[in-house]
């Protein structure tokens, strides 16, 4: 089997960690990117190595262009190649229009939209110089697929931008890179959800009566590495996107035992 190398941003914990572990289970050596969560990233690497996989951790502040260029270079320096870039890292907090801070909007833009574009550009240049090809998968959000609500304004602005660039980037990056995207729904506890809130929302906020899992998302990402996919958007949310909402389900779908609806 030929060597395959992936870079997953924001891979020290939560969904990014599960994506990285799944890729390693399927033959990838994986670069575990982190910014400040060094212990989490190193723990993820240890778990992967203990299970017989190959991984290494790399630090980069994705708000800084120079760090982005260095991150791609560090992958090539450590692994000799890059085949798959998963743009998973994001920043997320509650706020609404018009009461958002400009610096927060700028940060969300830098991490959630600009960084994936700049990482893709750096990957493109290295792959083209090496005469190789690769795949990029952007992790977006199901709400971008015509299910908007007013919550998390700065986060959503940036995710809407990157989520609507799949086809343009695919056209622009061929034949060097294939560009695809996944649009997850509720998968893990967020904000101030309790375990009971999450379980209740998982059963009631989608068509299938159960939340999609990080492993479901990871398997979709792996599928999108096949040579027949480019410019492809996959919604991975158990049908959450098909139920219109006016507020995020993490706030509206509270466990009745916690006083929720």
Q: What is the pLDDT of residues 220-251, one digit of tens each?
A: 999 999 999 999 999 999 999 999 999 999 99
pLDDT of residue 79: 98
pLDDT of residue 190: 86
Q: How far is CA 74 from the centre of its chain?
A: 20
Which secondary structure element, helix H or strand E, spans residue 3, and what is its range? none
pLDDT above 90: residue 257: no
pLDDT class of 192 with cuts at 50, 70, 90: confident
End-to-end CA distance of the chain: 52
Q: What is the pLDDT of residues 156-173, one digit of tens each?
A: 999 999 999 999 999 999
Distance CA 110, CA 232 (A): 23
Name the residue with tokens 């098909």. 242
Distance CA 32, CA 166 (A): 24
Phi, psi of 81 (to 5 degrees): -165, 170
Q: Dihedral of the CA atoms 64, 68, 73, 74 (nearest 10)?
A: 80
In the sheet that holds 4-8, the strands lie side by side as: 54-59, 28-34, 4-8, 84-87, 134-139, 177-184, 232-236
Decide: helix, strand or coil at residue 97: coil
CB atoms within 10 A of CB 255: 18
Q: 144: Cβ–Cβ under 8 A, 6 or more apart, which residues?
A: 156, 159, 160, 163, 164, 183
Q: What is the pLDDT of residues 74-101, one digit of tens each?
A: 999 999 999 999 999 999 999 999 999 9
Decide: helix, strand or coil at residue 233: strand
**What are the structural domain ranges in the chain?**
4-192+213-242
> Domain spanning 4-192+213-242: which CATH class is it, in words?
alpha beta
Name the residue with tokens 């695919």. 170
- What string of DSSP letters covers 21-84? HHHHHTTEEEEEEESS-HHHHHHHHHHHHHTT-EEEEEE--TTSHHHHHHHHHHHHHHHS---E
For the entire predicted model, the pTM comes to 0.96
pLDDT of residue 85: 98
pLDDT class of 142 with cuts at 50, 70, 90: very high
């Amino acid at each position: 089997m030929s060597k395959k190398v992936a870079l997953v941003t924001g891979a020290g914990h939560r969904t990014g960690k599960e994506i990285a572990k799944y890729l390693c289970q399927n033959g990838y050596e994986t670069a575990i990117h982190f910014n400040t969560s060094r212990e989490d990233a190193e723990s993820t690497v240890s778990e992967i190595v203990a299970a017989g996989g190959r991984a290494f951790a790399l630090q980069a502040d994705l708000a800084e262009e120079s760090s982005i260029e260095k991150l791609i270079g560090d992958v090539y320096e450590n692994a000799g190649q890059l085949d798959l870039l998963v743009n998973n890292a994001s920043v997320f907090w509650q706020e609404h229009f018009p009461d958002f801070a400009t610096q927060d909007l700028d940060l969300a833009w830098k991490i959630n939209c600009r960084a994936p574009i700049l990482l893709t550009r750096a990957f493109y240049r290295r792959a083209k110089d090496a005469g190789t090809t690769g795949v990029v998968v952007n992790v977006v959000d199901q709400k971008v697929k015509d299910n908007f609500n007013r919550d998390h304004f700065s986060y959503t602005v940036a995710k809407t931008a990157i989520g609507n660039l799949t086809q343009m980037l695919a056209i622009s990056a061929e034949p060097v890179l294939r560009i695809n995207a996944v649009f997850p729904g509720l998968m893990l506890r967020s904000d101030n959800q309790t375990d009971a809130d999450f379980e209740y929302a998982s059963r009631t906020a989608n068509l299938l009566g159960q939340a999609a899992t990080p492993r479901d998302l990871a398997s979709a990402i792996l599928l999108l590495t096949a040579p027949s996919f480019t410019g492809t958007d996959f919604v991975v949310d158990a049908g959450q996107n098909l139920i219109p909402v006016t507020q995020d389900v993490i706030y509206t779908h509270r466990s009745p035992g916690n006083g929720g609806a």
